[in-house]
Amino acid sequence: MNRRNFIRLSALSSAASLALPSTVFAKQSAASLESKMAGNLYFTKENAGRWHKKVGGHLPSIQVSEWNKKTRVKISTAHEMNAYSHYITKHILLDQDLNFIDEKLFDPKKDTVAVSQFELGNYKGLLYVLSVCNKHDTWLNSVEI
């Protein structure tokens, strides 16, 4: 193979490798990705996987309220906060397309409970909430706002 053909083939291969994943994943909705990952990459009440005995202390609870026509969300995880040995590291909010909205990091030496509050403005749609434990992985819950 001569040098020009090698360069053309390399460029074509690179372009295809960049375009193909976006084409394949664009056809998958957030819901279909959610169902494939539940119980493996993260855990839910219905798909607790190997942590089926840990649901109560790890699944984030979501309370939605409105104040001044703005949506507020309070997240709590009924989990112990034992310094660095066992604690909730953070809460993460994602929109219905799995885009990052906000997060709250917990300080295991200062925070005694895993509770976070967020103001979402006029957000409407499905909201995903992740609670991350340093020993028992990531837990997902959702609510329609």
What is the pTM assigned to this prediction?
A: 0.73
pLDDT score for 16: 44
pLDDT of residue 2: 58
Query: For position 32, what pLDDT does the model report?
Result: 56
Q: What share of the chain is helix, strand, coil (3-state, %, to 5)?
A: 25, 40, 35
CATH topology of domain 38-144: Immunoglobulin-like (2.60.40)
User: Which residue in this structure is represented by tokens 């056809």?
Assistant: 27
Q: Looking at the DSSP assignment, which residues form a beta bridge with residue 130?
A: 92, 140
Domain ranges of the chain: 1-27, 38-144
**CA-based nearest residue to 134, from 105, 110, 98, 102:** 105
Q: Are 75 and 90 in contact (CB under 8 A)?
A: no
For residue range 42-73, what is the model confidence (pLDDT) as tens digits? 888 998 888 888 888 899 999 999 988 899 99
Integer CA distances (angstroms), 80 to 3, 44, 101, 115, in order: 63, 19, 26, 12
From first to last of its 145 residues, the chain has per-residue pLDDT tens of 555 544 444 444 444 444 444 444 444 555 555 566 776 678 889 988 888 888 888 999 999 999 888 999 999 999 999 988 999 999 999 999 999 999 999 998 999 999 999 999 999 999 999 999 999 989 999 999 9
How many beta carbons lie within 10 A of that of residue 8, not counting itself? 12
